[in-house]
């Protein structure tokens, strides 16, 4: 007869280690003193298991996630560059404008009013 155990089968809950021994996570939200949303960070296993993953602040960084983040960052950089070009042309247009404001002043050049 096979012996039946009352304990459930134990699963391997080990998290994959990064190149420097920490757990590589993708931050879903910005975390103070750690990184901004979208950053891939390496943290100690306990910090990942006990805080970041249960709170929903991070997810395990897979190769697929890393590729998606790189594409997203490239797209954001392109949008930022286009916006910067538009702002520079607007700044050039404003620099060429002349604005004159007329106001009453005394002989010494001091303005009247409060």
pLDDT in tens, 29-77: 999 999 998 888 999 999 999 999 999 999 998 889 889 988 988 999 9
Q: What average pLDDT does this structure show over 19-37?
A: 87
Distance CA 49, CA 45 (A): 6
Q: Does residue 10 register a pLDDT over 90?
A: no
Q: What average pLDDT does this structure show over 14-19?
A: 66
38 CB-contact burial (10 Å; exposed 0-12 / middle 13-18 / buried 19+): middle
How far from chain centre, in Å, is Cα 11?
A: 33
Q: Which fold has domain 14-61?
A: Ribosomal Protein L9; domain 1 (3.40.5)
Q: Report the range of poorest mean pLDDT among 6-10, 22-26, 87-91.
A: 6-10
Name the pLDDT band for 18 (thresholds 50, 70, 90): low
Q: What is the pTM of this model?
A: 0.56
Q: Which residue has the higher pLDDT, 16 or 76?
A: 76
Domain boundaries, the chain: 14-61, 63-95
Distance CA 11, CA 34 (A): 30
- pLDDT at residue 113, rounded to an integer: 72
């Amino acid at each position: 007869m096979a012996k039946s155990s009352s304990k459930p089968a134990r699963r391997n809950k080990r998290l994959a280690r990064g190149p420097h021994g920490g757990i590589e996570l993708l931050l879903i939200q910005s975390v103070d003193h750690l990184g901004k949303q979208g950053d891939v960070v390496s943290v100690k296993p306990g910090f990942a298991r006990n805080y970041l993953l249960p709170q929903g602040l991070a997810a395990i960084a897979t190769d697929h996630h890393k590729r998606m983040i790189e594409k997203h960052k490239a797209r954001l950089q392109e949008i930022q560059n286009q916006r910067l070009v538009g702002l520079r042309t607007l700044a050039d247009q404003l620099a060429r404008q002349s604005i004159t404001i007329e106001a009453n002043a005394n002989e010494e050049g001091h303005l009247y009013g409060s």
